Structure 1
Amino acid sequence: MSITAKCSATVLTYFLTIICLATSGWVSAQETLRVLSWDGYADSEVVSAFQQRFDVAIELTLVTSDDDLWQKINGGNYDVFAVNTAELQRYIDQGLSRPISMTNIPNHARQLPRFQNLQAIPGLVRGNDTYAVPYTYSEMGLIYNRKLINTPPQSMSAMWDPAYRDRVLAFNASNHNFSIVGLLRGVSNPFRMTDPELKQAARELAKLRRNVLTFYATAEEATRLFVKYDIALIFGNYGTQQLKALREAGADIGYVIPREGALAWLDCWAITQNSRNPELAEKWINYTLEKSVSERLTQQHGLANTITAPENDNTQNQPIIWLEPILDPLARKTLWDRIISGEAPEAF
């Protein structure tokens, strides 16, 4: 046999051996963790470091809305996903998520006191099972203009103060606005308001319209309006992200959690029921709770993290109310459409 023929036979034998090993399971492909997340929660640096440490690959898919998240979980294959506590409930109800073994999340012990007792946060625990671990959050407090307001406001009711006519920015959303009025009126549960409570809240929101310059939709829009007009108060729907954007634009602002408490969203990591490797998913969750990884949320993306309190922060001991599922979102939306269309308070 010629040297060329021998070399060809050797190469062929090598490749056949590799194929046989692979099909026999002796050579395994690199493990892949399929992560479904919001923008900024798992940026390229965070993903790269995890891949190198655990010698795995990550398939990262971003979502743009709660509806988008729901569709992707129902129609795709993922291992771990980021979801807020209110939305989490339907994933548990439909058997789309699985309990997390907290013994595999030792970094939970490093989280701030308000995140230590998972039982105290509505929606995370069912029976003896924990379904999600907190990752990032935001209180929706009250932002005020230091140039126009000398004494920090103590209540969200300041938005109704006649002194601030046409100087208030409120958020264009039915769910939060009704819940705010529910808090102000002391209803038993601002997320499960009765029809009479909703109608009374609609009257109050129609009165608020007199003070509102406009109902904003994005943090960028609110920043632009604040800079252009003499805005006194903003309902801070986007929390710390919004504060960061305003301060970077040169705004002289303060931020308070009102005495009646502030609504707050809490995004958590959860594991899908059909996860191919829940143990690897738990390693991801634990990794994101490392101090350097969580702090990157704040430093790079303006998001609050659950490990370190913001600098000069005086809100950690203030009352916050984690979002819960709304009893009748359609009823709120119907009333809200009437409010922003200009109907008078007496119409409700």
Structure 2
Amino acid sequence: MKYLCPFWLMIGCLFAAFQASGAEQTLRVLAWPGYADGDLVAVFEKRYKVKVEVTLVGSDEVLRSKLADNQGSDFDVIAANTAEIHNYVNQGLLQPLHPERIANTARQLPRFRDYSRIPDIVVDGQIYAVPYAWSDMGLIYDRKQFSQPPESIDAMWDPRFQGRVLAFNTGNHNFSLASLALGGDPFQIRAADFPKVADKLIALRRNVLTFYSLPEEAAELFRTHSVALIFANYGRQQLRQLRDAGVDVGYVVPREGALAWLDCWAVSRGARDPALASLWINYMLEPEVSRALTDRQDLSNTLQEPKDASPSSRLIWLRPVEDDERRAMLWQRIVSGERPPLREQ
């Protein structure tokens, strides 16, 4: 036995645990577009003789809603950013993981295996997620409409581009963006500052063409409406889509910095077969699968250093915000054209 490779031994033990579980062999995956492509899913299904049901989401709000239904028991494994992971742990929707039992975590870059330094995935000494993909959320601009790349987030409010700006339809990130543009903390907005941040977002609503939900939607709007500027919520994934479509666009991290997300795989508290869920996470960290994510989506994986990474000093990693529900409520009023009541009653 001493000649057995521990790496493959771990995989064998995990597979044996799955086979012995006796659970229904269907894995329910909740993830983002591009994270579970059909051909990759088919390989997993064939290898482990299971069925995979994939549900895709386009925003954190939709992800929260789906995971909240039936206390997470509708899904086995989910992909979410670190800030969301922390919230789900607090709500009791996830179960702890043992990355040392997921063999391919050994392939990851050291900084993605130092869990103590990754915000929000370690709670009360237990690990709840394994990093998978990351990107900054910069600005995509039409080179034909900019003589120089935009330097600041404030370009989204520039009246010269009124009706030619696309922003993402989410209260969480938009409040963070507006606060950042005003020089404030993007994640902890003081109650006294909410009125001016909301006014900033009302001004954004008046300047944009619309708020998009999916990267494909943004790409189509860009091509058909002479869009000058996009807030790239999906990061370089959106840049890749537009360039693949032959659009002459550039990408920039503004001087204020760019919000950045680190998506992780986590196992739902209501997972029917945690061993099968762990096999999925292990599969996602195979070099060919992680490279496919980068090659197809232009997102950075956790196994390789990206070729054109943004300066780390200008990346602002997502953190839990002061009040998700308040941001969502105010955003719905703003995007619908109402002026929200912001003063404390």
TM-score, length basis structure 2: 0.77
How do 1:70-219 and structure 2 match up within 5 A? 70-71=68-69, 74-76=72-74, 79-112=76-109, 115-188=112-185, 190-219=186-215
SS of 1:138's equivalent in the other structure is strand
What is aligned with 1:328? 323
Alignment gaps of 5+ in structure 1: 1-26
Matched, 1:50 2:44: yes
Q: Deviations over 1:97-136 (max 9, x none)?
A: 2222221234334334653433233221113221100122
SS of 1:284's equivalent in the other structure is helix
State the shift of 1:228 in Å: 2.8
Cα RMSD (Å): 3.3
CA distance in 2, matches of 1:220, 1:28: 39
Q: Check 1:152–1:112 CA distance in 2 against 1; reply closer, same or farther (3 A cut).
A: farther
CA distance in 1, matches of 2:244, 2:329: 37
CA distance in 2, matches of 1:63, 1:250: 26
Aligned match for 2:242, one of 237, 241, 246: 246
Aligned match for 2:27, one of 27, 34, 43: 34
Matched, 1:319 2:317: no
Greater shift in the superposed pair: 232-241 or 278-287 = 278-287
SS of 2:312's equivalent in the other structure is coil
Q: Deviations over 1:121-179 (max 9, x none)?
A: 32211132211001223322111111122322232122233443433222232221110
Greater shift in the superposed pair: 229-238 or 297-306 = 297-306
TM-score, length basis structure 1: 0.77
Task: Give the number of equivalent residue pairs.
Answer: 317
Greater shift in the superposed pair: 318-327 or 256-265 = 318-327
SS of 2:279's equivalent in the other structure is helix
Contact 1:81 1:272 in 2 (8 A): yes
SS of 1:147's equivalent in the other structure is coil
State the shift of 1:254 in Å: 0.8
Contact 1:309 1:316 in 2 (8 A): no
Alignment gaps of 5+ in structure 2: 1-19
CA distance in 1, matches of 2:94, 2:334: 38
Q: Deviations over 1:22-49 (max 9, x none)?
A: xxxxx99798362423254233433343
State the shift of 1:242 in Å: 1.6
CA distance in 2, matches of 1:308, 1:73: 35
CA distance in 2, matches of 1:73, 1:334: 22
Larger radius of gyration: 1
Contact 1:104 1:286 in 2 (8 A): no
State the shift of 1:304 in Å: 4.1
Q: Deviations over 1:163-204 (max 9, x none)?
A: 43433222232221110122233334x223122211111122
Greater shift in the superposed pair: 217-226 or 28-37 = 28-37
Matched, 1:220 2:213: no
SS of 1:122's equivalent in the other structure is coil
Greater shift in the superposed pair: 62-71 or 245-254 = 62-71
